[in-house]
Amino acid sequence: MSFSTSEELSEEIKRLQNELEETSRQKIQAAEYGLAVLEEKQQLQQQCEELESMYDMTKHELDCAKEVMNDVGQLVTCTDTIVSCLFSSRLGLVIGLEFVKLTIMCKNVFIELFLDFCSMRQFLCKIGNRTIRRHTNSRSVTSRTGPLTD
């Protein structure tokens, strides 16, 4: 390329400067998008870890609840056996009635504990869901507005 006049040379320099500025803007924008993607990835990884933790906790709680229900079932079976033995005599009848009352109270306590456990689990799930929604909402606002540029 040869330029015949200084005016042509000046125009070529301006054109190259404009291209350089545009390329620089594109690089900055690409870097901002890259940072946004990295932040999104980090948030998703954190959310995944929270969900895995919640899953593990729920699984453990389910195992505990199954164990409690198994214990209650064994208590009922044991109670039925003892009651049938006690009711076979008159003195046993009086003792048996007291035992039945006590057993019913124990079953009720187990049931109340289990219901409290279930209520607490639902409460924890609601808190976890709110946290997840809050993270999701903050990400959607960022994705709608886009990264900040100069």
Report how far residue 40's alpha carbon sits from residue 50's, in angstroms, rounded to the nearest whole number: 15
Whether 9 and 3 have beta carbons less than 8 Å apart is answered as yes
User: What integer is the mean pLDDT of 96-111?
Assistant: 74
pLDDT at residue number 22: 97
Tell me which residue range forms the domain holding 38.
7-142
Tell me what pLDDT residue 3 has: 61
Q: What is the pLDDT of residue 103?
A: 74
Cα–Cα distance between 91 and 96 in angstroms, integer? 8
**Mean pLDDT calculated for residue range 5-24:** 93
Residue 148 forms part of a structural domain: no
Distances (CA, A) of 136 to 43, 47, 149: 9, 9, 23
Number of domains in the chain: 1
State phi, psi for 89 to the nearest 5 degrees: -125, 165
pLDDT tens per residue, range 53-67: 888 888 888 887 778
- pTM of the predicted model over 0.75: no
Is 70 a member of any domain?
Answer: yes
